[in-house]
Amino acid sequence: MVERARILQAVQTAIEKAPKRKFSESVDITVNLKNIDMAQPKNRIDETILLPHGTGKKVGIAVLGKGDITTQAKEAGVDLIIGPEEIERLGGEPREARAVAGKYRFFLADTSVMPLVGRWLGPRLGPRGRMPTPIPGGTDIRPIVERLRNSVKIRTKDKKTFHVKVGSTEMSPDQIADNIDAVLKRVESVLEQGALNVHSVYVKTTMGPAERLV
């Protein structure tokens, strides 16, 4: 377990060393694992983690379905709504479907259209870890959308190294440190040997040098 004070110190150093920009940059961590066989599916990480302070950037969310779920999606300010006909149309437009899969980070779908999604969009969304979360009829999606707006997704596949967006330079170092702390605690909780499976962790801004945490 990394001490909160050490996380804060590394964040402050990374921001101080980064070249000054006139625009907001993302702040990311790189986590390198060790002593773990990622070829074994049980060792892979596939987690959606709620950040205490969000990422500082807008997270793209798409909703698939019709009727009540689309009404709620509009009220929640969801970025993209895809109806059943559009699901099928996108299935015949691979390039456009890939663009949608790349642009939006989270997908929610009414359970009634999941068979359509699997048939037409599964090949585009599945490999990118973007398959929609099924939403049963009658579920209020607004709190789900709100939670996802402040969340990040980690999906390691068979790689021992992964990157996570933990904030932006417009946020305070304390807020970014809180986010990193939340991510590392969650990651360690799902690793077979916890912190012993973490080889190193680095934090950096988009254009700045990396500062080692662990």
pLDDT digit string, tens, across residues 1-51: 789 999 999 999 999 999 988 889 999 999 999 999 999 999 999 999 999
Please state, in angstroms and rounded to a whole number, the distance separating the CA atoms of residues 210 and 193: 26
pLDDT at 90: 96
Instruction: Enumerate the domain spans of the chain.
Output: 4-56+150-212, 61-148
Amino acid at 37: D
Domain 61-148 architecture? 3-Layer(aba) Sandwich (3.40)
Asked if the 4-56+150-212 domain carries CATH number 3.30.365.10, the reply is no
> How far does CA 117 lie from the centroid of its chain?
21
pLDDT of 58 strictly over 90:
no
pLDDT band for position 175 (cuts 50, 70, 90): very high
Q: Is 0.85 surpassed by the pTM of this model?
A: yes
Q: Report, as an integer, the average pLDDT of 189-208.
A: 96
Dihedral sign computed on CA atoms, order 199, 26, 121, 113:
positive
Dihedral sign computed on CA atoms, order 140, 145, 151, 155:
positive
- Which class for 106: exposed (0-12), middle (13-18), buried (19 or more C-beta within 10 A)? buried
